Structure 1
Amino acid sequence: MQGSTTVRGEHRSLFLLLALIAALGPMTMQIMMPALPAIQQEFQVSVAQAQLAFSVFVFTMGPALLLYGPLSDRYGRRPVLSLAIGIFCLGTLMCLLAPSLGWLVAGRAIQALGSAAGLVITRALLADLFGREGMATALSWMTMAMVIPPMLAPSLGGLLVDHVSWRGIFLVLLLAGVVVLAFTLRYLPDPPPTAAQRDSSWIEKYRTVLGRRGFYPYALQGVLIIGMFYGFMAGAPYLMVNVMGRPATEYGLFFLLPAGGYLLGNYLSARFAGRLGINRMVLIGAALALVFTVPLVVVTGAGWWVPLAFFLPMTLITVANGIAVPSTQSGAISAVPEASGTASSMIGFLQQAVGAIIIQVVGLLQNDTPWPMVGVVLASAVLSAIGALLLQRQPAGRPAPSEAR
């Protein structure tokens, strides 16, 4: 289905629904972060072992994302999404009742397997409904709403850890999964697959995506931008709780700053992407992120290890990320309109795979200083800025004539 390219006021309820669905995975990932030190203590394991409860979610979500694009292209968006949310609820119940770290990690893997569908299918629906011209703006508006649950999740997670237990997190997630499933079954649009989407095989779909030169520059740029956030997210909880001696609740409250920054960045993207074009938005975002990384390095080197010294620069970095990310995703998906769900899957896989590697690297390099975290953020920012400069040679999200079918 190829619908209107104009984003209008009547689409607000649709954006809210898609945001609720898409937020399930990021919320599930973020709400766990304040609980990791408590999980480490309860199960008497190392930091790197406790980190598995987080990184296995990201590792599993990567391959899972590859499943849902072709499945939803072939069988429709709503049936596939409903099944996936049911799988998520099963994994959440396992985590809630886990008697050991091994059971918890297994439950987290099943959670990731189910929640991955929301990230893929919501983007594919936007491509179905708004097409190439309207998708960057539509994705920005949806992301603004989607950011709110993950933004509040660390604060909620910290409160639950300090006043209930880390298991209370999974009771909340189970209730959220049931609500999302109910709304999906009742209200989610389900445009019928096109003949091209329905008839081609998985191999043909991925061959189409991977053979489209216009896909790679945007997809890889999106990976580099997201790498900054993953690097910070992997190190900040341990830095605050274990090094600074702050409670998990305080980490959750400080996390509102970068989450709010990402929200602001998406608002700016929604306002200006249509005027400036996606290539310029990516360049602006990457350049600002590199500039804002400088104070993060300075405070680390100077030994000013207090929460605001890290969270304020990271907030500015996430503003820059929010400016750029919708345009990278729009550019990559619009390069392969006949396999939009599969392209969305591949984007998600690349981001999650690189994110999982970054999370484990930061965990393994933990040395009671911010340097592993800050080093990863800086490296991602430098590579992203270089990639954004190279991207300016790319036509703005359109496949070259020789590549179009």
Structure 2
Amino acid sequence: MNSPETPPHLLTLILLTGFSPMSLNMFLPALANIAVDLGTDYAIVSWSVSGYLAITAVIQLIIGSLSGRIGRRPVLLVALLAFAIASVGCVLAKNIGTFLSFRMLQGGIISGHALSLAIVRDTRSERQAVSLIGYIGMSMAVAPMLGPMLGGVLDTYFGWRSIFVFYAVVSFGLFAICWLDLGETKRRATSDRTAPIVGTTTLVWEPLFWAYALCGTFSVGAFYIFLTGVPLIAHSVFSMTTAELGVYIGSTTVGFICGGFVAGRFGSRCEPITVMIAGRLVACVGLLGGLLLLALGVTSPHFFFASTIFVGFGNGITMPGSNTGAMSVRPELAGSAAAHSGALIVAGGAVLTALTGSAVSATHGAQTLLLLMLAASAASLCFAIWAAWLKRGKAICNANESLK
């Protein structure tokens, strides 16, 4: 067992980070069966996804402040225990109201992702954090690929409640692991009762924080746009089966994994802002290439999805830098920064998916989708450049102050 102030092992952080997306998508294949079993409409059951996302956005703001006030360890332990109990509640639910109530209580598991990033920043330098978050981020891509597959198998052979049994068992196991391995990494000097108020106010008035956070928001937003519009494009333009579409969507996720590996490999050697901009350029160049091919009349799905892979690859390179940068504006407020930027990504994703749903149609849908993705990627590039400009100005001001 680690001492109370010993940082957790890397595997613990990977498990915490990877379990967060699995809590969202693992039960998706069972939604229809849940609706039948609980005697309700599919539209109502779907609130277990949309409502859950809304709840996680709010919870991230709360856990960021709490972790700054009382520490990372107690917040994570309580969140894991609450998720485990809520999972048992979902297993025992006899009606849709009970199920949705316990499902919303599961939203606290998002702290596993947000606070894992904060813990890395607590215990590493800025460059080291970029590298480590790059490797940890790879689990964020693998988990969404494996989650629905495992959920589908469990639902098919044991029924939908077995998925929530799995949630309960894993979360109780993670609780035990964190109890033994997760030491407190929040610096005591800043763990005072005024931290939540000061942290929130300070971050809101920090332009550099917004530059990093919005870069990440539009980077992930491009992927949200892709997920929203690509099913229609696959059917209307490429006449693809759902199985083929699943493979092509997975290829973009593989791109993210490769980008995360690149960030992990080279992040400690380069300035985080340089890594961010490089990732944004990769995404934009790939999408421009796809648009050029469409303009030339090339409508092969291979080339279309080859261009979208660059978005996943670029995001994998960018996100460790943007996450680390947001937490490095005020290192003592890393928990609040991770939570606020995470909530912003969820909120931005909701807006961009709504926009995509109304903008993409069967006519010229492929071009529209790539243009929307390019617009989001270009916006994130602009915010990355803004962050570089702000950081350079801050460095010059600090140098001038030191000379006085």
Normalised by the length of structure 2, the TM-score is 0.81
Q: Given that residues 153 and 252 in structure 1 are in contact (C-alpha distance below 8 angstroms), is that contact kept between their aligned partners in structure 2?
A: no
1:26 is aligned to 2:21 = yes
The worse-fitting range, judged by mean Cα deviation, of 72-81 and 234-243 is 234-243
Q: Given that residues 70 and 191 in structure 2 are in contact (C-alpha distance below 8 angstroms), is that contact kept between their aligned partners in structure 1?
A: no
Q: How far, CA to CA, are the matches of 2:36 and 2:383 in structure 1? A: 41
Q: Alignment partner of 2:125: what SS? A: helix
1:60 is aligned to 2:55 = yes
Instruction: Choose from 154, 177, 188 the match for 2:148.
Output: 154
Please report how far the alpha carbon of residue 334 of structure 1 lies from its aligned counterpart in structure 2 after TM superposition.
Answer: 0.5
Partner of 1:110: 105
Q: How far, CA to CA, are the matches of 2:372 and 2:87 in structure 1? A: 30
1:225 is aligned to 2:219 = yes
1:330 is aligned to 2:324 = yes
Q: How far, CA to CA, are the matches of 1:119 and 1:275 in structure 2? A: 25
Partner of 2:88: 93
Q: Given that residues 281 and 327 in structure 1 are in contact (C-alpha distance below 8 angstroms), is that contact kept between their aligned partners in structure 2?
A: yes
The worse-fitting range, judged by mean Cα deviation, of 333-342 and 350-359 is 350-359
CA deviation map 1:348-384 (0-9, x unaligned): 1111221233345556778678668656434312322
CA deviation map 1:44-76 (0-9, x unaligned): 445xx6653322222111110111122122222
User: How many residues get paired?
Assistant: 387
Instruction: Choose from 389, 393, 397 the match for 1:393.
Output: 389
CA deviation map 1:151-177 (0-9, x unaligned): 322333344456655544333323322
Q: Given that residues 68 and 186 in structure 2 are in contact (C-alpha distance below 8 angstroms), is that contact kept between their aligned partners in structure 1?
A: no
Q: Given that residues 56 and 356 in structure 1 are in contact (C-alpha distance below 8 angstroms), is that contact kept between their aligned partners in structure 2?
A: no
Q: Given that residues 65 and 120 in structure 1 are in contact (C-alpha distance below 8 angstroms), is that contact kept between their aligned partners in structure 2?
A: yes
Task: State how 1:306-345 maps to structure 2 within 5 Å.
Answer: 311-345=305-339
Instruction: Choose from 73, 77, 90 the match for 1:82.
Output: 77
Partner of 1:130: 124
Q: Given that residues 25 and 119 in structure 1 are in contact (C-alpha distance below 8 angstroms), is that contact kept between their aligned partners in structure 2?
A: yes
CA deviation map 1:61-95 (0-9, x unaligned): 11101111221222222111010012222333344
Q: How far, CA to CA, are the matches of 2:292 and 2:147 in structure 1? A: 29
Q: How far, CA to CA, are the matches of 1:30 and 1:313 in structure 2? A: 25
Task: State how 1:305-384 maps to structure 2 within 5 Å.
Answer: 311-362=305-356, 376-384=372-380
Instruction: Choose from 254, 257, 267 the match for 2:251.
Output: 257
Structure 2's unaligned 5+ residue stretches are 1-6
* Structure whose alpha-carbon radius of gyration is higher: 2
Q: How far, CA to CA, are the matches of 2:101 and 2:369 in structure 1? A: 26
Q: How far, CA to CA, are the matches of 1:242 and 1:172 in structure 2? A: 37
Q: How far, CA to CA, are the matches of 2:18 and 2:102 in structure 1? A: 19
Letter in 1 for 2:376: S
Change (3 A) 1:172 1:220: same
Change (3 A) 1:128 1:182: same
Instruction: Choose from 257, 270, 273 the match for 1:276.
Output: 270
Q: Alignment partner of 1:276: what SS? A: coil
Q: Given that residues 114 and 338 in structure 2 are in contact (C-alpha distance below 8 angstroms), is that contact kept between their aligned partners in structure 1?
A: yes
Q: How far, CA to CA, are the matches of 1:68 and 1:352 in structure 2? A: 15
Q: How far, CA to CA, are the matches of 2:298 and 2:45 in structure 1? A: 27
Change (3 A) 1:267 1:340: same
1:191 is aligned to 2:155 = no
Please report how far the alpha carbon of residue 327 of structure 1 lies from its aligned counterpart in structure 2 after TM superposition.
Answer: 0.4
Letter in 1 for 2:373: V
The worse-fitting range, judged by mean Cα deviation, of 186-195 and 96-105 is 96-105
Q: How far, CA to CA, are the matches of 1:397 and 1:250 in structure 2? A: 49
Q: Alignment partner of 2:386: what SS? A: helix
Normalised by the length of structure 1, the TM-score is 0.80
Partner of 1:7: none
Q: CA RMSD in A?
A: 3.7
Q: How far, CA to CA, are the matches of 2:77 and 2:24 in structure 1? A: 20
The worse-fitting range, judged by mean Cα deviation, of 86-95 and 370-379 is 370-379
Structure 1's unaligned 5+ residue stretches are 1-10
Partner of 1:8: none
Q: How far, CA to CA, are the matches of 2:187 and 2:325 in structure 1? A: 22
Letter in 2 for 1:383: A
